[in-house]
Structure 1
Amino acid sequence: MVMMCALVGVASCTTVNPYTGEQQRSKAATGAAVGAGVGALVGIASSSDSKKRKERALKGAGIGAIAGAGVGYYMDVQEAELRRELEETGVSVTRDGDNIILNMPGNITFDIDSATVKGEFIPVLESVSKVLTEYRSTMIEVAGHTDSTGGERYNMLLSQNRAQAVANQLIGLGVEAVRLDIVGFGQSRPIASNDSVAGRAQNRRVELTVLPLVE
């Protein structure tokens, strides 16, 4: 089932690092917009009304929200742990305001025309789930994307199946299903030109967007 949520922006704030006792300012740098176009399905980054429904569902499941002033720091620490866990795995970590985007390129996640997660990629998802299960006050969009090769309907189905496959792995590794939104965008949200081999390779990906659950 696909549920839809919205991207949340929270201003940066000064918090106390519990490990050092020092004050620090949380990051609120806004990254570049990812992709363009209109897909058949709307994801986390598109609907504020759906986000509110999702937040109510999470709270109903006993998953606590973060107090507004602590959101930035909570995501800062989570980002740092994800970067440490995913170093040299081929997965990029991008900060967009108080959200974290993990870009999982298709060449390391799936074989061509397959929606079965590669065995060698499972340890990477184990590293991701390790952090996601530690920082539970978040929602996660799992979004599949393809290049423009092949038919639009086929690409949409492939992107959905790949997103679902990654989500199933995360659930099996302990991430609560209620926290996940699974969506396929097909070829509608490229991050590079589909006119080149290199560009198409960038467009074939699964992205995880981690958003804070805010009080």
Structure 2
Amino acid sequence: MYRFPLVVLCSSALLLSGCASQNPYDQQASGSNRTASYGGLGALAGAAAGALINHDNRGKGALIGAAVAGAAAAGYGYYADRQEQELRRSMEGTGVEVQRQGDVIQLIMPGNITFATDSAQIASSFYQPLNNLANSFRQYQQNSIEIVGHTDSTGSHSYNMGLSQRRAQSVADYLLAQGVDPERISIRGVGPDQPVASNATADGRAQNRRVEVTLRPLPGAQ
């Protein structure tokens, strides 16, 4: 009567510690904590299911159920950990910033490396980061790729909307030419409508002129 809860708790603890210790990217705190959480919750559910299925040996059933469900539940979190680590490595020194929030990975590409002023033609300094992105996107294929162009507030709103759209399209076209699946890519231009700094200063305008690439899990990948 009292052995089943003890086994469930023990197996869940083992799965939690296993996820944390076996993930080679556990230095990335946000991703690793999420992986461990997924694995732990999956382990609890799997342990209960396994114990119910294995009527003859509830303890053994709970351990098996915890192991199977915990590994499956940790899948996308571990996948995103690996992709984030690879992106951080490949973008080091390029000026591209990599951010992570839960399942979402975002790359922020500042205007000083992407496009010349008032141009949608890719700058020479932007080719290497884009090549690295294309390599990553071909290797990791379980997320969608949203490309958003931004401008500062100089000039008319309608002109900036068009410019930001053309810049996002230029990035998408380059990635497509490198073999990235077109079904995964979407683009938007938001002009000056989502500033991250004040347009009253040159430095603020430079921060606002940017391209953001956001990666989200495809349906069924989580």
Closer, same or farther: CA 27–187 of 1 in aligned 2, 3 Å: farther
**Distance in 1 (alpha carbons) for counterparts of 2:154 and 2:79:** 40
TM-score by length of 1: 0.70
Closer, same or farther: CA 135–83 of 1 in aligned 2, 3 Å: same
**26, 30, 35: which is aligned to 2:32?**
26
Larger radius of gyration: 2
Shift >6 Å, 4+ stretches = 16-19
Instruction: Look up the SS of the partner of 2:106 in the other structure.
Output: strand
**Distance in 1 (alpha carbons) for counterparts of 2:194 and 2:23:** 40
Match of 1:124 in 2: 129
**Distance in 2 (alpha carbons) for counterparts of 1:170 and 1:117:** 12
Instruction: Look up the SS of the partner of 1:150 in the other structure.
Output: coil
Q: Contact 1:27–1:98 at 8 Å: present in 2 too?
A: no
Q: After the TM superposition, which of the residue ranges 191-200 and 139-148 deviates more from structure 2? A: 191-200
Q: Does 1:178 align with 2:192?
A: no
Q: Contact 1:143–1:182 at 8 Å: present in 2 too?
A: yes
**86, 106, 109: which is aligned to 1:101?**
106
Q: Note the C-alpha offset of 1:145.
A: 0.3
Closer, same or farther: CA 27–98 of 1 in aligned 2, 3 Å: farther
Match of 2:196 in 1: 191
Match of 1:133 in 2: 138
TM-score by length of 2: 0.68
**Distance in 1 (alpha carbons) for counterparts of 2:218 and 2:193:** 28
Instruction: Look up the SS of the partner of 1:162 in the other structure.
Output: helix
Q: Contact 2:152–2:208 at 8 Å: present in 1 too?
A: yes
**89, 93, 111: which is aligned to 2:94?**
89
Structure with greater helix share of residues: 2
**Distance in 2 (alpha carbons) for counterparts of 1:203 and 1:162:** 14
What is the one-letter code of the residue matched to 1:191? V
Structure 1 unaligned residues grouped into runs of 5+: 1-12, 29-66
Match of 1:70 in 2: 75
User: For residues 31-50 of structure 1, what are the structure 2 equivalents within 5 Å?
Assistant: none
Q: Does 1:155 align with 2:153?
A: no
Closer, same or farther: CA 214–27 of 1 in aligned 2, 3 Å: farther
Please list the CA deviations of residues 40-96 of structure 1 after superposition, one character each: whole Å capped at 9, or x if unmatched.
xxxxxxxxxxxxxxxxxxxxxxxxxxx654221111110000000000000000112
Q: After the TM superposition, which of the residue ranges 81-90 and 116-125 deviates more from structure 2? A: 116-125
Which gives a bigger RCO, structure 1 or 2 (Cα 8 Å, sep 6+)?
1
**Distance in 2 (alpha carbons) for counterparts of 1:101 and 1:166:** 15
Q: Note the C-alpha offset of 1:19.
A: 7.3
Q: Contact 1:27–1:97 at 8 Å: present in 2 too?
A: no
RMSD (CA atoms): 2.2
Instruction: Look up the SS of the partner of 1:102 in the other structure.
Output: strand
Q: Does 1:80 align with 2:85?
A: yes
**Distance in 2 (alpha carbons) for counterparts of 1:183 and 1:17:** 40
Q: Note the C-alpha offset of 1:27.
A: 4.6
What is the one-letter code of the residue matched to 2:206? A
Please list the CA deviations of residues 140-197 of structure 1 after superposition, one character each: whole Å capped at 9, or x if unmatched.
1000000111100000000000000001111111111110111000110011111111
- Percent identity over the alignment is 49
